[in-house]
Structure 1
Amino acid sequence: MGIIMSPDLTSSPAGDTLLIIGYGMATARLLNRLADRGYPGPICVVSRENIVGYNRIQLTPWLANPDASIDLNLVNPKVMSRLNIRLLTQTDVVSFSADLHQARLSDGSQLSFAQAVFATGAQPLLPACDFKPQPAIRAFRTLNDGHFLRALPKRSRVAVVGGGLLGLEAAWGLGQLGHQVTLIHRNSHLLNRQLSHPLASLLANTFIKAGIELRLNSQVSGIDSDPLLTSITLNTDETLPVRCLIAAAGIRPNNDLGQQSVLATAQGIQVNAALQTSAGHIFAIGECTEFAGQTFGLVAPVYAQAEVLAQRLMGGSAEFAVSHSETRLKISGLDVFSTGQISHPKTQVLSLVDHHQQRGRTLHLLNNQLIGAELLGDLSLANYFNDLIRTQCPINDNRELLLGRLQNAA
């Protein structure tokens, strides 16, 4: 995966430029779609990373399998050659004026633009206690994070904070490298936003069998990191010796530049269905955004935003809407699937768990309709359950549906 070097910005009229701030997965998808549609104008992308447009979802298998050939690159040079694009790597936008159509960069230069896109992503939430910052206390969201973790000494003691998707993947990847991993989660079961207790317990057993220790109903209350990270203390008063701490307990949209630019922000940079910010010629996509009170950490809605914005920048009228989300995860061959609503207080919840085969399913039903489904180990009914939720088809026999006898269920 190479680095695209940026030519001199003065080689074309910057006043016609589409400025894109950030080059993660959202920008990679946006640029690909603009290339497909023949976007004619000059584009300047500013990225603080030196390597851009890589697949962050594949960072865990990349980490866990150093000898495997895993291509993280989302940048196709042939596709990019269709665009009049300039890229500034290892560069920040330090100030931004929507009214003046100007941005000042970290190298001291000024850039004029016609339209701009904020794709500044998000940053991890670190434990809410005092500690001396250092490289051993970090997230696992970038290639630089991955290279740091790959370089840890053998059998290092590592704590991963957060039992959601990112935390599970980080803990598993580090465990596969032979490190002694403790996964700390504030909730009573793993993946509490995607799974209810029966299937989460099955998932927890998979981690325990792999040698990963779990601390549930626990939070970090203290960190001893002066001068070096040596231990953490939990709210249960347990002290764990650690050499590295990975924060994977949520993210905060990077909306600081948006706030400085007087764009409307709340949790993230607020956008409408056209992905416009409060300044009509300024757009935002990805983890930095907030739409209808929601922020986005999964790739599906982020990619959907990129598709809509590509159409909008080409004069189309597409609109972004939040659809019901689904989650798919693969840990050591164990497939996890969750879709729809799994925490509605009035649902009938039915579970079928096979501990011997390490598989199970949980269904959430309301008013004779399926509104949520969880699958672990066997995803053969995933698309069927998705269709039932989408169409709200009446369910004739809940137990037949749970058992997979579809001809009698709906």
Structure 2
Amino acid sequence: MATPLPDPALGTAPRPRDGRPRERLVVVGNGMASLRFLERLTEGAPGLYDVTCVGAEPKAAYNRVLLSSLLGGEVDEAACAFRGLDWYADHGIRLITGAPVTGIDRADRLAVVGETHVLPYDRLVLAVGSQPIRLPKPGMDLPGVITFRDLADVAAIRRAAVAHARAVVIGGGLLGLEAAVGLARLGVDTTLLHVMDRLMERQLDHAAAAMVKRALEGRGVRVILSADTAAVEGAGRAERLRLTDGTVLPADLVVMSVGVRPATALAAAAGLDVGRGIRVDDRMTTSDPDIFALGECAEHRGQVYGLVEPAYEHADTLARHLAGQPAAYQGTSLATSLKVSGLPVFSAGLVDTPEDAEAVVLSDPGAGLYRKLLVRDGRLVGAVFVGDIGEQAACKALIRSGEPVADVDDLMFGRPAQTPAPQPLAA
């Protein structure tokens, strides 16, 4: 028989002024989106809810963006932490870590934790993120094949990255590039495979991707494009990787970074409406009016996002809604701003040039500089910058607003410095 979980001590968050019992709010998941939601909710409506947050990982929410830096030894685990346990207690939040929620009883409003414990709720937030994808190819379950998604993965990769190890990273998206650079920093012989003909094809055009490829190679990463994995092979553990063209690559370690899939199993088992993700409306409400979803697990208007910015916008919207404030999420116009092997990269809107748009390009490969603006009917519809991303904020704003571009040269070369107007001479 299920039993209620013991409650860690609560902090001193105030009760509502009308003295009524607080609604029980259970947040499932303690990642970056979950923490953002808790921060905004406690800022906007302190003490309004009796909050419990349950995370499957043994650590409180941490910065996943720094995982590659952690892998490469540039930062330690403490640098990845966001809030200490005292912050949760001070804000009246029960934090339970290392405890996966295994079921939702919507009839009795219970979140089942593990095998035998339950948490009663009045409102439930699902912030359960995504699961890394493993290619459906032979050998993907062999020891030595590791995903790159969380702290446990980083620890496993570092254990496997011993002296003279040979690593193959599968996947030329952002996480794959970061994993490859992190391994190269450790001195590991690293090869990056990507099935497409250019890296980061969703964010970069061919010219920009070629510059990123050169930057990776400059860090000691071998890059093979149009590489389709056939199988990982070995006697009891990973020893080599075979491509569909017959090429065989020695591999003591295979890092799988081919994308993520929204974690929907918990919601589907509870009878919630699920598509690619957990379907939500503009207030992040699921098909059950007392259950909400945000972050990578949520599907809004048919769109699933796997990035931090939309997850934070989900969190802000839901926090306002649960605080009784007007809130409506309208979707996110995606933009990417990052450093790949120390090379600044920015893209927003369209990447490849459609027939009805004009491309304005500045390219200086020797200087590591590339800028492309895509203009349609006098409006900016896409931008790709490598090396100097100084005008990224202006480009992002114009793409999102749809306002006419006043001067393309300002976006391409930067706005000229403003000269102060001359002052009249004193009489």
Offset of residue 353 of structure 1: 1.7
Q: For residues 209-240 of structure 1, what are the alpha-carbon distances to aligned partners after superposition, in whole Å with 9 as ceiling and x for unaligned?
A: 22211111112111114411111111222111
| Counterpart position of 2:194 | 185
State which of 25, 34, 48 in structure 2 corresponds to 1:40. Answer: 48
1:155 positional shift: 3.5
Distance across 2 between alignment mates of 1:16 and 1:395: 49
Q: Unmatched 5+ residue regions in structure 1?
A: 1-5
Q: 2:24 aligns with which of 13, 17, 23?
A: 17
Q: How far is the alpha carbon of 1:127 from its aligned partner?
A: 1.4
1:319 alignment counterpart: 328
Pairing 1:346-385 to 2, within 5 Å after superposition: 346=355, 347-385=357-395
CA change 1:23–1:397 in 2 (3 A) is: closer
1:245 is aligned to 2:254: yes
Residue 97 of structure 2, aligned match among 77, 89, 104 = 89
Aligned to 1:328: 337
Cα distance, 1:244 vs structure 2? 1.3
Q: 2:240 is matched with which residue?
A: 231
**51-60 vs 389-398, which deviates more?**
389-398
Alpha-carbon distance between aligned partners in 1 of 2:399 and 2:86, rounded to the nearest angstrom = 40
User: Counterparts of 1:110 and 1:344 in 2: how far apart (Å)?
Assistant: 53
> How far is the alpha carbon of 1:83 from its aligned partner?
2.8
| Comparing 219-228 and 275-284, the one that deviates more | 219-228
Q: Distance in 2 between matches of 1:241 and 1:218?
A: 15
Aligned partners of 1:160 and 1:246 also within 8 Å: yes
Inter-CA distance 257–344: structure 2 relative to 1 (3 Å threshold) = farther
Q: In the alignment, is the contact (CA less than 8 A) between 2:22 and 2:49 conserved in 1?
A: no
CA contact (8 A) 2:5 2:118 kept: no
TM-fit CA distance, 1:356 = 1.3
Query: 1:252-307 deviations in whole A, cap 9, x for unaligned?
Result: 00000111000000100000010000000000011111001111111000011111
Please, what TM-score do these two structures have when normalized by structure 1? 0.91
The CA distance in 2 between the partners of 1:79 and 1:34, in whole Å, is: 14
Aligned-partner Cα distance in 2 for 1:108–1:187: 46
Distance 1:82 1:167 in 2: 38
Partner in structure 2 of residue 119 of structure 1 = 127
**How much does 1:142 deviate?**
0.6
* 2:47 partner letter: Y
**Cα deviations by residue, 1:186-206 (Å, 9 ceiling, x for unpaired):** 111111101101111111111
1:137 aligns with 145
Change (3 A) 1:406 1:155: same
1:308 partner amino acid: T
Alpha carbons of 1:201 and 1:70: their partners in 2 closer, same or farther (altered >3 Å)?
farther
In 1, Cα distance between the equivalents of 2:76 and 2:52? 34
1:309 shift after superposition: 1.1
- 2:64 — aligned with what? 56
From 379, 384, 387, the equivalent of 2:397 is: 387
Matched, 1:72 2:80: yes
- Return the offset for 1:27: 0.9
**Farther off after superposition, 224-233 or 199-208:** 224-233
Aligned to 1:174: 183
Q: Is the 8 A contact 1:91 1:107 kept in 2?
A: no
Flag the 1:86–1:107 CA change in 2: closer, same or farther, 3 A.
farther
Tell me the TM-score normalised to structure 2 length: 0.87
The answer (yes or no) to whether the contact 2:347–2:384 under 8 Å persists in 1 is: yes
1:204 to 213, 219, 231: 213
Q: Percent same amino acid among aligned pairs?
A: 30
Question: Aligned equivalents of 2:115 and 2:77: distance in 1?
Answer: 36
Aligned mates of 1:332, 1:11 — CA distance in 2:
45
> 1:17–1:112: 8 Å Cα contact kept in structure 2?
yes
Give the secondary structure class of the aligned counterpart of 1:81: helix
Whole-angstrom CA distance in 1 between matches of 2:262 and 2:41: 25
Instruction: Sort the Cα spacing of 1:357 and 1:129 in 2 relative to 1 into closer, same or farther, 3 A.
Output: same
CA deviation digits over 1:123-145, x for unaligned, max 9? 11111212262452121111111
Residue 288 of structure 2: aligned partner: 279
Kept in 2: contact 1:370–1:389 (CA 8 A): yes
Structure 2 residue identity aligned to 1:303: Y
Which shifted more, 348-357 or 282-291? 348-357
Relative to 1, partners in 2 of residues 1:233 and 1:271: Cα closer, same or farther, differing over 3 Å? same
* Unpaired stretches in structure 2, ≥5 consecutive residues: 11-20, 417-427
Moved over 3 A (4+): 9-12, 66-70, 76-79, 390-398, 400-403
CA distance in structure 1 between the aligned counterparts of 2:9 and 2:392, rounded to whole angstroms: 52
Q: Distance in 2 between matches of 1:385 and 1:109?
A: 50
Q: Secondary structure at the match of 1:29?
A: helix
Q: How far is 1:18 from its partner? A: 1.1
| Structure 1 pair 225–42 and aligned structure 2 pair: CA distance change class (3 A) | farther
Give how far 1:40 is off: 3.0
| SS of residue paired to 2:366 | coil
- Once residues 177 and 102 of structure 1 are traced to their aligned partners in structure 2, the CA distance between those partners, rounded to angstroms, is 46
